[in-house]
Structure 1
Amino acid sequence: MSEETGATEMLGNGQDNLPQVALIAQYVKDLSFENPSAPGIYQAPEQPQIDVQFNIGSQLAGEDVYEVALKIEIKATQGELTSYVVDLVYAGLFGIRNVPEEHIPVFLFAEAPRLLFPFARRVAADAIRDGNFPSLVLEPIDFGALYMQQAQQQQELAETQPAGEA
């Protein structure tokens, strides 16, 4: 019985002080599919060379609400011809409450993109397939490791700069 009382006392009179994170909505913010070499590209004999680039952005969208945008750029070429170009911005709104300030960037740039990625991957694959090209299934990405690597690079850069420069 004392355990139940402890939990009630911790929240105290309807106060909400536990850390909370919630996915409020996810959506395609921008999608572009270009097939600039059609119809000739469908007769090109070589396999396409595919280049995939990612970018993650975040902004405050309201009180305790952040928008995280996962931008994916895919370009496929066959020789001198561009097979297709996909530009996708897939975003999500995340409610974050009672989370220590130093933990918010880790969530926004590592965990949130991990949650959005499977849906963004499907949108990109469907656009490519609908353009009459073989489906492209993007491999999973370790956004946590990428975040840690980038944070380490920024820390090393800050340590190498003289104190007066910024």
Structure 2
Amino acid sequence: MSDTSLPPDAQAPNGAVPPGPLLMNLQYTKDLSFEVPGAPEIFATLREQPRIDLALDVQARPLQQGGNVFEVSLQIRADAQVPGQNGASQTAFIAELVYCGIFTLNVEPNLVEPLLLVECPRLLFPFARNILADVTRDGGFPPVLLTPIDFVALWQSRRGQSSADTMPPPVASA
């Protein structure tokens, strides 16, 4: 039996660099929305930094049946609230971003999920963070600067929820 694997710095026979375990083919903004429902009045009454509620989700889907090419989407929603009259909060802005990447994976099946839900979003995150900061700043507000996300913890949390959903309820003892 001969070893057909190439060292990391070697080239394939046709001169191309052999693919690694994870290849980002393309990245793009799939959806971007920015709303200021109370404009222009909100700008005249804004006295303090808005309170921002963030929601983040990661989704992955194969682009071909049984293949190794996937679309990974990083979905971010930022709702900014400011104190309004009578103590009720008022929406300053709503920003929604779906930032995607197309990835080719050349790994064992047991490594696909962690790569898709941890490593791929980790690679997309800096670009999505920049877009969100730019759109909020260009919208007339201080830029929303997201802190780094622990995608491992997010993935583990998601796995814990899905296994808890499939487990039978505990039996009460007397």
TM bucket, shorter chain:
0.7 to 0.9
Q: Match for residue 132 of structure 1?
A: 140
Query: Which of 67, 82, 85 is residue 91 of structure 2 equivalent to?
Result: 82
SS in structure 1 opposite 2:52? strand
Instruction: State the distance in 1 between where 2:113 and 2:164 align.
Output: 18
* Unaligned ranges ≥5, structure 1: 1-5
The residue identity in structure 1 corresponding to 2:90 is L
Q: Is 2:157 aligned against 1:155?
A: no
SS in structure 2 opposite 1:33? strand
Instruction: State the distance in 2 between where 1:109 and 1:149 align.
Output: 12
Query: Which of 104, 108, 111 is residue 95 of structure 1 equivalent to?
Result: 104
Q: Is 2:113 aligned against 1:113?
A: no
Q: Match for residue 3 of structure 1?
A: none
Task: Give the number of aligned pairs.
Answer: 153
Q: Deviations over 1:67-110 (max 9, x none)?
A: 0000000010112321111010000000112x111210111111
The residue identity in structure 1 corresponding to 2:105 is I
Q: Deviations over 1:38-69 (max 9, x none)?
A: 11111222431111001111111133210000
Q: Which structure: greater helix fraction?
A: 1
What is the TM-score when the length of structure 1 is the normalising length?
A: 0.82
Q: Is 2:32 aligned against 1:31?
A: yes
Give % identity. Answer: 37
SS in structure 2 opposite 1:9? coil
* Unaligned ranges ≥5, structure 2: 7-11, 84-88
Query: Which of 66, 88, 94 is residue 70 of structure 2 equivalent to?
Result: 66
Q: Deviations over 1:10-36 (max 9, x none)?
A: 33997xx98621000111000001111
Instruction: State the distance in 2 between where 1:34 and 1:157 align.
Output: 35
What is the TM-score when the length of structure 2 is the normalising length?
A: 0.79
- Root-mean-square deviation (CA, aligned residues, Å) is 2.5
The residue identity in structure 2 corresponding to 1:84 is F
Give runs of ≥4 in structure 1 deviating > 6 Å: none
